[in-house]
């Protein structure tokens, strides 16, 4: 019986399989893996595939970029309907419910058991695994590129402005921003309209619901309620800070998004994914001191765990059995401690299993300058036991919901629109979409 710590995985669509009859010179079984990561991260996926292919002689994984998370989800659905689905596909967090209800996949536990791998499923960090599991806790897909949101501080700039310690609360951030402004920095904090840090992560760590029914985990009849929570207070705070020219909008449309704004030292504080840790480290000048921390909370808050982001790997139904042997072998390969550490080293993503994390700590990974601080993400994800408000968000058409709220943010921060009215409208439109989704999957169960 083979064993594995099984941690994370990449994405894709398995397409064709070729196998020969002659045992002595059997052809390798080929299968496809579709993924959505692009740029440097996409190249690292290709590296992982090359490593797997070089490690054995039975299988050949063909890794195919789909140029984006939205695209890989759409293409996977279309391919399944055309009976040309892949063996493995990478689906981001927002597409999880769509995949669950499609029934177009082989559950993770079944795949590995059928192919002789004994997995300790409790080895996954609950804060990560629960996002991709049923209501009863069964993991359906394999967490791969996992992350959470953190806050980045240019400590060199903060110290020059008289701030000697990392801010811990939003009130602390406001004080630091005022000092940065007084010291001549035009953009103390840069932010964009991404709902993931601004709305979703804020709600989790402040123990506020995004939607009813346990953020959708308990049923398709969930309704969004963010227009009635402390999230409105956060938007009011950000708007006041923007009006005081302490928080500045930075988006691609305006010429510079938040991460480039931070690495160019245009803005001294940003919220972003821990996955950007590597990029920041490679881009900032060596003499600039910078650090990351868990996202701030408002004073008086009993902090809860943050939400996992990134994507997981789904094994698609309807492929030849030989491809499943290859898919299981690949997923087992990238779950090994040496591959886990390699993946975290070259990307910035975090290990998704306890053994993977402990092995990296033992090896001194987090003590090395380029990687120091990445452990903050694990701490943030594991801070408290998952609850209805912190387990994750399981809503239909979630991609569209994010777009609705991002549009509201743009109206608020760029057109001075009324905060409550814009969030109410986004909530109303999103709830209408949820009712359509519920009707489409009438009778479906999430457990």
Instruction: Give 226-247 pLDDT, tens digit per residue.
Output: 999 999 999 999 999 999 999 9
Q: Are residues 143 and 106 in the same domain?
A: yes
Q: Report, as an integer, the average pLDDT of 34-58.
A: 94
pLDDT bucket at 28, cuts 50 / 70 / 90: very high
Q: Report, as an integer, the average pLDDT of 126-144.
A: 85
Q: What is the pLDDT of residue 3?
A: 43
Kindly state whether residue 377 falls inside one of the protein's structural domains: no
Kindly state whether residue 216 falls inside one of the protein's structural domains: yes
Q: Are residues 163 and 67 in the same domain?
A: no
Is the pLDDT reported for residue 59 higher than 80?
yes
Residue 115 to residue 328: CA distance in whole angstroms = 7
DSSP-derived 3-state class of residue 68: coil
Kindly state whether residue 445 falls inside one of the protein's structural domains: no
Q: Report, as an integer, the average pLDDT of 297-319.
A: 96
Q: What is the pLDDT of residue 446?
A: 66
Is the pLDDT reported for residue 392 higher than 60?
yes
Kindly state whether residue 283 falls inside one of the protein's structural domains: yes
Residue 410 to residue 249: CA distance in whole angstroms = 9
Q: What residues pair up with 315 in beta bridges, in sequence order?
A: 88, 106
Q: Are residues 242 and 340 in the same domain?
A: no
Q: What is the pLDDT of residue 25?
A: 54
Q: Which of residues 321, 344, 363 is at a domain's end? A: 363
Q: What is the pLDDT of residue 336?
A: 87
Q: Are residues 158 and 232 in the same domain?
A: yes
Q: Are residues 137 and 154 in the same domain?
A: no
Q: Which of residues 317, 340, 363 is at a domain's end? A: 363
Kindly state whether residue 180 falls inside one of the protein's structural domains: yes
Is the pLDDT reported for residue 58 higher than 90?
yes
Question: What pTM did the predictor assign?
Answer: 0.87
Q: Report, as an integer, the average pLDDT of 133-152.
A: 89
Kindly state whether residue 380 falls inside one of the protein's structural domains: no
Residue 138 to residue 135: CA distance in whole angstroms = 8
Q: pLDDT of 264-280, one tens digit each?
A: 999 999 999 998 998 89
Q: Are residues 39 and 117 in the same domain?
A: yes
Choose among 143, 156, 171, 406: nearest CA to 287.
156
Residue 245 to residue 209: CA distance in whole angstroms = 30
Q: Are residues 167 and 129 in the same domain?
A: no
Q: Are 240 and 230 in contact (CB under 8 A)?
A: no
407 against 122, higher pLDDT: 407
Q: Which of residues 345, 363, 381 is at a domain's end? A: 363
Q: Are residues 256 and 339 in the same domain?
A: no
Q: Are residues 172 and 256 in the same domain?
A: yes
Residue 303 to residue 293: CA distance in whole angstroms = 14
Q: Are residues 127 and 186 in the same domain?
A: no
Q: Are 7 and 15 in contact (CB under 8 A)?
A: no
Q: What is the pLDDT of residue 357?
A: 87
Q: Are residues 222 and 266 in the same domain?
A: yes
Q: What residues pair up with 28 in beta bridges, in sequence order?
A: none
CATH of the domain at 134: 3.40.190.10
Q: Would you state the structure tokens that stand for residue 176, as one six-digit string?
A: 């630091």
Mean pLDDT, the chain, integer: 91
Kindly state whether residue 385 falls inside one of the protein's structural domains: no
Q: How many domains does the chain have?
A: 2
Kindly state whether residue 18 falls inside one of the protein's structural domains: yes
Q: What is the pLDDT of residue 14?
A: 35
Q: What is the pLDDT of residue 445?
A: 73
Is the pLDDT reported for residue 302 higher than 70?
yes
Q: Report, as an integer, the average pLDDT of 67-86.
A: 93
Q: Are residues 76 and 214 in the same domain?
A: no
Q: Report, as an integer, the average pLDDT of 104-131.
A: 89
Domain that holds residue 88: 2-147+308-363
């Amino acid at each position: 019986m083979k064993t594995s710590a099984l941690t994370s995985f990449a994405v894709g669509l398995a397409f064709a399989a070729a196998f020969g009859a002659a045992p002595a010179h059997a052809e390798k079984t080929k299968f496809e893996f579709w993924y959505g990561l692009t740029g440097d991260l996409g190249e690292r996926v290709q590296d992982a595939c090359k490593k797997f292919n070089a490690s054995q002689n039975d299988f050949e994984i063909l890794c195919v970029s789909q140029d984006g998370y939205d695209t890989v989800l759409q293409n996977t659905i279309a391919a399944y309907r055309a009976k040309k689905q892949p063996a493995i596909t990478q689906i981001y967090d927002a597409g999880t419910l769509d995949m669950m209800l499609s029934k177009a996949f082989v559950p993770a536990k079944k795949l590995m058991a059928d192919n002789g791998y004994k997995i300790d499923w409790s080895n996954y960090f609950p804060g990560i695994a629960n996002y991709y599991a049923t209501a009863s806790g069964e993991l359906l897909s394999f967490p791969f590129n996992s992350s959470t949101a953190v806050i980045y501080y240019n400590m060199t700039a903060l110290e020059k402005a008289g701030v000697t310690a990392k801010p811990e609360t939003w009130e602390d951030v406001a004080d630091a921003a005022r000092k940065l402004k007084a010291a001549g920095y035009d953009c103390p904090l840069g932010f964009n309209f991404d709902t993931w840090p601004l709305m979703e992560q804020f709600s989790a760590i402040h123990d506020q619901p995004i939607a009813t029914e346990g953020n959708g985990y308990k049923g398709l009849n969930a309704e969004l309620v963010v227009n009635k929570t402390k999230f409105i207070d956060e938007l009011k705070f950000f708007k006041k800070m923007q009006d005081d020219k302490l928080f500045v909008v930075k988006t691609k449309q305006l010429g510079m998004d938040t991460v480039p704004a931070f690495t160019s030292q245009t803005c001294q504080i940003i919220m972003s994914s821990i996955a950007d840790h590597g990029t920041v480290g490679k881009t900032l000048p060596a003499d600039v001191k910078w650090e990351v921390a868990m996202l701030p909370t408002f004073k008086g808050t009993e902090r809860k765990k943050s939400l996992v982001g990134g994507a997981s790997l789904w094994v698609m139904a309807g492929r030849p059995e030989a491809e499943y042997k290859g898919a299981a072998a690949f997923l087992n390969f990238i779950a090994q401690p040496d591959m886990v550490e390699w993946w975290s080293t070259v990307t910035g993503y975090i290990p998704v299993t306890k053994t993977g994390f402990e092995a990296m700590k033992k090896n001194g990974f987090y003590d090395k300058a380029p990687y120091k601080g990445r452990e903050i993400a694990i701490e943030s994800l594991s801070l408290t036991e998952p609850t209805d408000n912190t387990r994750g968000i399981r809503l239909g058409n979630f991609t569209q919901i994010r777009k609705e709220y991002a549009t509201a943010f743009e109206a608020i921060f760029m057109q001075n629109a009324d905060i409550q009215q814009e969030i109410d409208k986004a909530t109303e439109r999103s709830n209408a979409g949820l009712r359509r989704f519920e009707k489409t999957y009438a009778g479906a169960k999430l457990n």
